[in-house]
Structure 1
């Protein structure tokens, strides 16, 4: 359930970035700017899982990839086709 909530938050963040990019006439740039922001959010989520929830780093890596990669790929596709 937590992973789904984090992904939903990521979708909202992506939408906010794209909306800002739409206002600035730079949707592609906004999509690219989303990726490092999302990487940091996903990394903090993984850090919390390791330090607070008691999971090992290796247990958290698949969830980090599951959280980070789909939205980063979506942002890259938006960047690719927004040119």
Structure 2
């Protein structure tokens, strides 16, 4: 359930970034800026899973990738389509 919440939150963040880029006529740039921001958010989520929830790093890495990769690909597709 937590993974779905993270994916939904990331999709909302990406939509807000693209909307901000649309207002500033820089959609391609904001789509690229989303990627490092999302990497940090996903890494912090993984860190919380390791330090607070008690999972090992090897248990958390697949979830990190499951959270990070789809939205990164979506941002790159949006950048390509809206460029």
What's the TM-score, normalizing by structure 1?
0.97
5+ unaligned residues in a row in structure 2: which ranges?
Answer: none
**Corresponding residue number in structure 1 for 2:63:** 63
5+ unaligned residues in a row in structure 1: which ranges?
Answer: none
Rounded to whole Å, the distance in 2 between the matches of 1:77 and 1:12 is: 16
RMSD: 0.6
What's the TM-score, normalizing by structure 2?
0.97
Divergent runs of 4+, >2 A: none
**Corresponding residue number in structure 1 for 2:77:** 77
Query: What is the count of residue pairs matched by the alignment?
Result: 83
Following superposition, the deviation at residue 10 of structure 1 comes to 0.3
**Corresponding residue number in structure 1 for 2:10:** 10
